[in-house]
Amino acid sequence: DTLKLQEFQDALNELLASGKSYAEIAETLKTDPKFDHYRDYINEFDPDMVEVARELMGKWAQRVE
């Protein structure tokens, strides 16, 4: 389970900081198999909060390099 959580967090952070539009992010959350393990959790996501997270990550995310 911890590895599944790692995979989920990695994919979510990367997606939110990708610079993609809200619509692209929402579609990826629905269809990317990386999110399958937490599908029930993701299905609860509020669109406004996904947009807030996208904006915040676009503004503040620092990549490892």
Residue in 20, 22, 28, 30 binding another protein, rule: CB under 8 A: 22
Tell me if 13 sits within 8 A of 57, measured CB to CB: yes
Residue in 10, 24, 32, 36 binding another protein, rule: CB under 8 A: 10
Answer yes or no whether residue 47 interacts with another protein by CB under 8 A: yes
CA distance 43 to 49: 13
CA distance 64 to 44: 30
Residues that bind another protein (CB under 8 A): 1-6, 8-14, 16-17, 22, 38, 41, 44-53, 55-57, 60-64
